[in-house]
Amino acid sequence: MMTKIFKTLLFSVLLLLVSCKTQQDSKTPRWLDDIQYDSKLDKKDFVVCDEDEVYQYFNLGNAIHYHGDKPVLINSILENYDSTKVKKESGLIRIRFIVNCHGETDRFRIMQSDLNYKEKVFDKNITNQLMAITKTLDGWGQKYKDDGTSVDYWQFLNFKIVEGKIVKILP
């Protein structure tokens, strides 16, 4: 009986908390996986045109919206990545960033795991190369709303690395 009362009470409190959450706490990201500005990592002059409405990569068009399409993007990465000077490590590396309404990029963040999705830290020669190459990619296209306004959007690249080599670039 007591357990039932406790569960009902917990349910009511949680409902109340959820209702209260409709008032946004400015310190809490509004969207899942948002990346906040970090003065130590990010360009001071990078403009996010509408911080409250950064779209996801799959909104408003193709998954990869790049000048020359995905083959050109892949070539740009593979031509500049040198697998001969890295450790033969394997896993997944995600680099996520914002493409702003002008088609410029910043707020790059990296995530790493082994091939079993367990967090790990790769050889710096791998991650530094990938980060540097990703930062130089300058063919990202602008995305537009129906009214013609260009928007900011989150983009990511997932690199599958096997023994130091890039075997797949997704999505």
Residues lying near other proteins in the complex (CB under 8 A): 4, 7-8, 10-11, 14-15, 17-18, 21-22, 28-33, 56, 58, 62-64, 68-72, 92, 94, 96, 111, 113, 115, 117, 119, 154, 156-158, 160, 167-168, 170-171
Rounded distance between C-alpha atoms, residue 3 and residue 8, angstroms: 9
CB 135 to other proteins: min, Å: 17
CB 142 to other proteins: min, Å: 18
CB 4 to other proteins: min, Å: 7
Strand, coil or helix: what is 116? coil
Distances from the Cα of 14 to the Cα of 9, 17, 29, 32, 35, angstroms: 9, 5, 20, 20, 27
Rounded distance between C-alpha atoms, residue 161 and residue 143, angstroms: 30
- Nearer to other proteins by C-beta: 8 or 80? 8
- Nearer to other proteins by C-beta: 58 or 85? 58
Please work out, in degrees rounded to the nearest 5, the angle formed at the alpha carbon of residue 149 by the alpha carbons of 146 and 150: 110
- Nearer to other proteins by C-beta: 29 or 47? 29
Count other Cβ atoms within 10 Å, centred on residue 82.
10
- Nearer to other proteins by C-beta: 67 or 85? 67
CB 54 to other proteins: min, Å: 10
105, 104, 102, 101: which is closest to 53 by C-alpha?
A: 101
- Nearer to other proteins by C-beta: 53 or 138? 53
